Structure 1
Amino acid sequence: MPTIRQELLIQAPIEVCFDLARSIDIHAESTSQTRERAIAGRTQGLIECGETVTWEAYHFGIKQKLTAQITGMEKPHYFVDEMVRGAFKRFHHTHEFVTVVQGTLMVDTFDYTSPFGGLGKLVDRLFLANYMTQFLEKRNLYVKKMAEETAESARSSR
Structure 2
Amino acid sequence: MKMHLLKQEQLIPLPLEQAWGFFVHPGNLPRITPPDLGFRITGELPEKMHAGMIVSYTVTPFLGWPVKWVTEITHMREPYFFVDEQRFGPYRMWHHQHIFQETPQGTLMTDLVHYVLPFGPFGELAAPFVARRVRDIFEYRRQALAGELGFALRPG
Using the size of structure 1 for normalisation, the TM-score is: 0.86
Note if 1:82 corresponds to 2:85: yes
For 1:9 and 1:35, locate their aligned partners in 2 and report how far apart those are by CA, in whole Å.
27
Note if 1:117 corresponds to 2:87: no
Amino acid at match of 2:127: D
2:154 maps to which residue? none
2:61 maps to which residue? 59
**1:101: Cα distance to partner?**
0.6
**1:148: Cα distance to partner?**
3.7
Sort the Cα spacing of 1:20 and 1:98 in 2 relative to 1 into closer, same or farther, 3 A: same
Amino acid at match of 1:140: R
**1:116: Cα distance to partner?**
0.5
For 1:139 and 1:45, locate their aligned partners in 2 and report how far apart those are by CA, in whole Å.
21
Contact in 2 for aligned 1:81/1:92 (Cα 8 Å): yes
Question: CA-to-partner distance for each residue in 1:21-66, whole Å, 9 max, x for gaps?
Answer: 2432221122233231211152x63321110100112111211110
**Runs of 5+ consecutive residues of structure 1 not aligned to the other structure:** 150-158
1:152 maps to which residue? none
Question: CA-to-partner distance for each residue in 1:106-148, whole Å, 9 max, x for gaps?
Answer: 00111100100111112112x0001011112212332343234
Aligned length: 147
* Cα-Cα RMSD: 1.6
For 2:23 and 2:123, locate their aligned partners in 1 and report how far apart those are by CA, in whole Å.
29
Amino acid at match of 2:122: L
Contact in 2 for aligned 1:12/1:148 (Cα 8 Å): no
2:18 maps to which residue? 16
SS of the aligned residue for 2:28 comes to helix
Sort the Cα spacing of 1:140 and 1:55 in 2 relative to 1 into closer, same or farther, 3 A: farther
Amino acid at match of 1:66: W
**Runs of 5+ consecutive residues of structure 2 not aligned to the other structure:** 152-156
